[in-house]
Amino acid sequence: MPTPAAAALLWTLSRLEAIRKTGAAGPGEPRVLNDAMAAAATGQTPALLAIRP
């Protein structure tokens, strides 16, 4: 995809309310999700734990 087209697509998506709400929970949401996945699959998620924010 040409760079101008990709930029236009990302800009358009950033105007959508649903997309703007996606990251509104802040850094706590990925931490909680990461911890829940690690708890569900004990010992099988070292890569997830390594990148935990």
Segment 8-21 shows an average pLDDT of 90
Structure tokens at 39: 């708890």
Q: What is the DSSP string of the chain?
A: --HHHHHHHHHHHHTSHHHHHHTTTTTHHHHHHHHHHHHHTTTS-HHHHHT--
pLDDT digits 0-9 by tens, 24-47? 778 788 888 888 998 998 888 888
Q: Which pLDDT score, from 0 to 100, does residue 12 have? A: 94
Q: pLDDT: is 10 or 27 the higher one?
A: 10
Which DSSP letter does residue 51 get?
T
Identity (one letter) of the amino acid at 24?
A
Segment 16-28 shows an average pLDDT of 81
Tell me the pTM.
0.50
Segment 8-34 shows an average pLDDT of 86
